Amino acid sequence: MRKIITENPCKKCIVKSITVYNLDEEELGILCKNSTEIFFEKGERIIKQGTFTHNVVFVKSGIVKIHLTGPIKKDEILKIMKGPVFVGVPDVFANKIHSYSVTALSDTTTCFIDYKGYEYLVENNGRFALEVIKNLSSGIVSHYKHCVYKIQKQLMAIFADALLYFADHIFEKDEFLIPLTRSEFGEYIGTTRETVTKIIRDFTKDNIIEVDGKKIKLIDKKILQKIGKSG
């Protein structure tokens, strides 16, 4: 169940975004005054598509998915990220409502930062604003690549890339519990649950991976990398 852990946690927090290191004591106090730390259990919605944009959200720890429901009411997973990372920033500056949702894929600790306080820091601290822009730009470029690969690569290559992303960037090890159902994995790579199951079966048969329920072990990363690059 969602709970508020503490208010004004910033000064004592050991998990900080690189942007925060550009703030002086007074500015850090403003950030603290406008921040509330909230815990979400796995499966809870952190940001809901269609709701008003009142806060910037900093994911301190945990894994989250960014997803969007399209015009035919089908959900698509846009990105999977782990803390520490900001989410919801583009919507806060550009829209009155959130254009996508963010859901916890594991137990997740967040900081909700009131938009007005965050906006004040962006307007009055150029170095802070520059780091915000750098972070946004990096995320956008990465997402562009993901979108193009999702369209132009073969499904087996996309699946291989996804496994490598989980191993190298999310869990930083070659054996992990996949945080998605097979239907969600299909949403992430742009296919169906049945196709995901078939690819897993083929990769297991070829001794590329081992699967035990949700636990996946990458046995041959070189082959996975080759499949991913082949497109």
Q: Any idea what the CATH number is for the domain that residue 206 is in?
A: 1.10.10.10
Helix (H) or strand (E) holding 46: strand 45-47
Q: For 179, which DSSP code?
A: S
Domain boundary among 148, 178, 213: 148
Q: What's the pLDDT band for 94 if we cut at 50, 70, 90?
A: confident
What CA dihedral angle connects 147, 202, 212 and 105, to 10 degrees?
A: 10
Q: Are residues 20 and 80 in the same domain?
A: yes
CB atoms within 10 A of CB 39: 18
Helix (H) or strand (E) holding 87: strand 85-87
CA neighbor of 112 nearest in space, from 26, 186, 18, 8: 8
Domain boundary among 148, 181, 210: 148
Q: Which domain holds residue 61?
A: 3-148
Q: Are residues 23 and 133 in the same domain?
A: yes
Per residue in 139-152, pLDDT (tens digit) is: 788 878 877 877 78
Q: Are residues 143 and 211 in the same domain?
A: no
Domain boundary among 95, 115, 148: 148
Q: CA neighbours within 13 Å on the CB side: how many for 73?
A: 0
pLDDT of residue 215: 95
pLDDT for 1 beyond 60: no
pLDDT of residue 7: 53
Q: Are residues 122 and 163 in the same domain?
A: no
pLDDT of residue 160: 96
Q: Are residues 20 and 40 in the same domain?
A: yes
Q: What's the pLDDT band for 32 if we cut at 50, 70, 90?
A: confident
Cα dist. 86→58, 141, 211 in Å? Answer: 4, 16, 32
Provide the domain count of the chain.
2
Q: Are residues 25 and 100 in the same domain?
A: yes
